Chains A and B, each alone.
Chain A
Amino acid sequence: MAEVIVVTSGKGGVGKTTSTAALGAALAQTGQSVVVVDFDVGLRNLDLVMGAERRVVYDLINVANGEVRLQQALIRDKRIETLYLLAASQTRDKDALSEDGVRRCIGELQGKFDWVICDSPAGIERGATLAMRYADLAVVVTNPEVSSVRDSDRIIGLLDSKTMKAAKGERMEKLLLLTRYDKVRAGRGDMLNIDDVLEILSIPLLGIIPESEEVLRASNIGAPVTIANPQSAAARAYADAARRLNGESVPMTVPSNRQTLLNRLFGRRAA
């Protein structure tokens, strides 16, 4: 039975899709079977970040509405054979998704995979609440910035009230993934630091992803950053977070970009 994870944030542009792809790929690289599901109906992008945009024929809506079989809609990754994508529909809107359809679809995915990772749309409306509805665990993606922290706080409230777990009176597990973190600026007092965000949101930390040029480069080429450049600081941070999801105890560090003296002198960053 798969663990169902929702990657959520409230605010847009903080790194939900990047994190879904990177964590999904990192978990699949350990040999476990993983499906990443795009819930952003009408504004799908997980397919693009995964480099599968030209292979989408059927999508989540088709499966949820029983129009096609799950097998027909699943897209297998060309690099990691245990990694699959279920894309969102680009032409329909979020009302095309029914709660019952989502429940059936998630149920079927749970039977086939070790991990089901749902990429939530931004916002707090129907799309976001459906993405979190059947999750066992939430990864709350937050930037060290006031509006992102505020929206994450709001999402944590929704996770405690709108999920099936909450409805059944169970505790919804929530983990913080702090993305776009800049150790130098936080050290200078120009950016909220890890302790600030943890104290305000008071949920356990899953990982700290440093701001990295490699994230944009990875999306440019259509590969999760953990595949595009596994040695980059961001990829190592995602790999650590994936190991923690897997139950391993990994010391919490902020991987940094390795800088050689020569690179420093020429003002260039090494991977």
Chain B
Amino acid sequence: MKLFRLLTARRSAPLARERLQILLTHERGTTGSSGLIAMLREDILRVIAKHVEVAPEKVEVRVEHGDEVAVLAIDVEIPEAAARAATPRRGGWAA
């Protein structure tokens, strides 16, 4: 019975490790040590929410460090309908 269990048991530690790595990469971004990213994210979310309904988890703010400059990258995923409404129609009224 014990041998059977040994043979069939799935190792759980690799899964724990993987889950932690994914989770912490995300959490470090939102509760980062400087707090700057968290604050920016809050403000950006608030500004966008005034005009478009957006889920908090769809707003990603991160700092990408290059060789000479750091880039503040902001990714916001908005609903397709809102995106269509936001895109100016070509051709105007005449079309």
Residues of A within 8 A of B (CB): 145-146, 149-150, 153-154, 157, 160-161, 166, 186, 188-193, 196, 200
Contacts and interface: CB of A to CB of B under 8 A. Distances in A.
18 contacts: A146-B16, A150-B23, A154-B31, A161-B33, A161-B35, A166-B33, A186-B13, A188-B11, A189-B11, A189-B12, A189-B14, A190-B11, A190-B13, A192-B16, A192-B17, A193-B13, A200-B20, A200-B24
B24 A153 contact: yes
A186 B17 CA distance: 12
Contacts of A149: 20
Nearest to B17: A196
Given A145-B16, A153-B24, 10 more contacts: A146-B19, A149-B20, A150-B23, A154-B27, A157-B28, A157-B32, A157-B33, A189-B11, A190-B11, A193-B13
A235 B70 CA distance: 47
Contacts of B28: 153, 157
- Size category of the B interface is 10 to 19
A189 B21 contact: no
B94 to A, nearest CB: 57
A31 B13 CA distance: 41
Interface of B: 9, 11-14, 16-17, 19-21, 23-24, 27-28, 31-35
B27 A153 contact: yes
Contacts of A166: 33
Contacts of A191: 13
B13 A150 contact: no
Contacts of A160: 33
B35 to A, nearest CB: 7
Nearest to B21: A200
Nearest to B6: A188
A166 B20 CA distance: 26
A154 B32 CA distance: 9
A189 B32 CA distance: 31
A201 to B, nearest CB: 9
A150 to B, nearest CB: 7
A158 to B, nearest CB: 8
A196 B13 contact: yes
Contacts of A161: 33-35
Nearest to A187: B13
Report, nearest first, the 6 A-B pairs whose CB atoms are least far apart: A189-B11, A160-B33, A161-B33, A196-B17, A157-B33, A189-B13
A8 to B, nearest CB: 15
Contacts of B12: 189-190
A186 B14 CA distance: 10
Contact of B17 (A150, A154, A200): A200
Contacts of B20: 146, 149-150, 200
A193 B17 CA distance: 9
Contacts of A150: 20, 23-24, 27
A192 B33 contact: no
Contacts of A157: 28, 31-33
A164 to B, nearest CB: 15
Given A153-B28, A157-B28, A192 B23 contact: no
A157 B14 CA distance: 24
A186 B24 CA distance: 21
Contacts of B31: 154, 157
A160 B9 CA distance: 40
